[in-house]
Structure formats: C-alpha cells, structure tokens
Amino acid sequence: MKRNLEIFTNDKYKLLKWIADNEIEYRKAKYLSSSQQEIAETLHYSKSKTNKYMNELIEANFLKKYKIKGKYALTQQGYDAIEIIEKNYFSKGR
C-alpha cells in the first residue's frame, strides 16, 4: 500500500479527498453524485485534468466506477490512502 501512495501529487490527493468528502450514502452504498464537470469546476481543474486523474485513480484501485453511469465511489484502498496521508503528513504540522 505504501509504495502505491507515490502516485499522489497534491492535486490527486485533493481530488481523492474531495470525492470522499462529497460522497452520498443511499441504501448503504456510498457514491459520488457529482459529474466530472462539476468536480472540475469546484476544484478549479480542467475537465481533461479531472478525467485523467480519475482514470489514474481507477487504474490504481483507489476509485471505482459506480453501477450508475457517470458515478464513482472510493475503494477501501482509497479511504486507506486518505487516512495514511492525513496521519503521516498533515498530523506533522506541514
């Protein structure tokens, strides 16, 4: 797990964390209801940058496509990555 965290840049972490913070829960399932365009606008990324990062996070198993077209959900590995990054980076006062 730790070696996979090297794929994160500040922007990728920001995207992953934003997704985690904005997932909704419906019938015990969590997923993101925002479109890539909405994510891009909120994070001030281009849509192509958002799409590229989301595809990279999917390939690395931090994010998955949800069963509804155009929706996404974090994997357990995605939640673990956020926890590790926050614990090891943000807790040190950086």
pLDDT digits (tens, 9 = 90+) for 33-61: 888 999 999 999 999 999 999 999 999 99
Give the C-alpha separation, 68 to 82, whole Å.
24
- For the stretch 52-77, what's the b/e string if a residue is b when 16 or more beta carbons lie within 10 angstroms of its beta carbon? ebbeebeebebbbebeeeebbbbeeb
**pLDDT at residue 33, rounded to an integer:** 83
Question: Which domains are delineated in the chain?
Answer: 2-92 (1.10.10.10)
pLDDT in tens, 70-81: 789 999 999 999
Q: How far apart are CA 29 and CA 94, in angstroms?
A: 34
Task: Give the rounded percent of residues in the chain with a pLDDT score beyond 90.
Answer: 51
Q: Which of 59, 62, 69 is nearest to 16 (CA)?
A: 62
Give me the pLDDT at residue 91, please.
61
Q: What's the rounded Cα separation, in Å, for the pair 31 and 2?
A: 25
Mean pLDDT score of the chain: 85
Above 90 in pLDDT, residue 62? yes
**pTM confidence score:** 0.79
